[in-house]
Amino acid sequence: MTQHTTLPSYYTVDDKILPIGQIPAAMLELAKHHRMDINGLLRGTGIFVQDLTRRDCNISCEQLKHLINNLEKQNHNHEFALRFGRQLPYINNSVLLQAIINASCIRDLLEIIRNYCRLYYPLCFLHLISDANNHYLIINDAIGCPQQHKFLCQSFISSVLTLLKASDIDKNQLAFYLEQPKPENTAPLQTYLGSRICFNAPISAIVIPDAIGQKPLSNYSETIKIQALEQCRDSIQSIPGRQGFLEHLQKWLLRKIPREDITLQTCSEYFGTSPATFKRRLKIHQTSFQYELDRARKLLALSLLVLQNLSNDEVAKHLRINDSANFRRSFKRWTGALPSTLKHQLLDPQNFNF
């Protein structure tokens, strides 16, 4: 029997779920320093300056997306997202920050951010995948933000780098996968992220060598961390929707793809709705069933190829694709490159398009 999910288990694009005095307020404050037109930034968002200090006033993801769009239109130096990312760790949940800065090692720090991203940056969700050499923190869209994806990735990566720098980690020890095309001017990105950047990548991710990932942190306090995480769990429990709609869908697809053939019908049944209604819900979140299915297959394929070093035939079997030839064609459609080409590029940073 199909197990139906319930609406409170995830939040959708128009749910009023974000405390208005945090992320939008910080964006507007930074915009003032950039001499942007604040009235223009707020136009059409439904956010009002007088509400920014109210703790009981929430906004929706759609409103925050609209604000980001307005910022992108006015931001001509292409550094706003990176500068905002530097502030992000300190403008959100203070208890979560206590847990993060008292992590035992970088890997532990990344796990905390992954598990509590709902409190850190609710438009994103994370996968943390490791092999013998590296840890890959993969940044995903939790709510349907294709137009804001570049802003979200740059600001999130910049925020994690801010936390790592506080632990004496050199940014040039890390590598970055960005789905965006290589810009004409790469100087801002190289200033903030260093030189090891792969543009036009199939995923957006931070790559942390294992030697760094296991590095003990000087501020480590197990007692403070545990107490802080208990409060974070209480916070997650107290708010509607513990993960974004697309995050919920993606996690379900990743579990189900190796076990059964996924159709729109089976997916809509899981979400307790008709196929037509489910398609409309996906459209509201600026996506489609086929796109989300391919996105999950792509992540599984990259994980199996790059991290587990499986052959094309083995990956095709895991993804329930008939043969390796069909898999190669599908993989090129998902990523723009054949498996062997992309695997070589992702595993060897010397091949990055700096």
In this prediction, the residues of the chain whose per-residue pLDDT falls under 70 are 1-8, 19-21, 77, 348-354
205: its two tokens: 């991710």
Q: Are 288 and 282 spatial neighbours (Cβ–Cβ below 8 Å)?
A: yes
Calculate the CA 120 to chain-centre distance.
Answer: 11
91 burial type by CB count under 10 A (0-12 exposed, 13-18 middle, 19+ buried): middle
Give the per-residue pLDDT at 348.
Answer: 66
Query: How far apart are alpha carbons 130 and 282 in whole angstroms?
Result: 31
Q: Which helix (H) or strand (E) holds 184?
A: none
User: According to DSSP H, which parts of 116-209 are helical?
Assistant: 117-120, 149-165, 187-193
Give the per-residue pLDDT at 236.
Answer: 86
Give the per-residue pLDDT at 328.
Answer: 92
Half-sphere exposure of 104 (CA within 13 A, CB side): 7
Which of 106, 143, 104, 101 shows the shortest CA–CA distance to 121? Answer: 143
| Sequence ranges of the domains in the chain | 14-76, 77-238, 245-351
Which of 316, 309, 314, 320 shows the shortest CA–CA distance to 344? Answer: 309
Q: Which helix (H) or strand (E) holds 220?
A: none
Residue burial 223-242, b: 16+ Cβ < 10 Å; e: rest: eebeebbeebeeeeeebebe
Give the per-residue pLDDT at 349.
Answer: 56
Q: Of the CATH numbers 3.40.50.720, 3.40.30.10, 3.30.1280.10, 1.10.10.60, which one belongs to the domain with range 245-351?
A: 1.10.10.60
- Pairing relation of β-strands 204-209 and 175-177? antiparallel
Single pTM value for the model: 0.92
The angle at the Cα of 137, spanning 131 to 141, to the nearest 5 degrees, equals 135
Give the per-residue pLDDT at 351.
Answer: 54
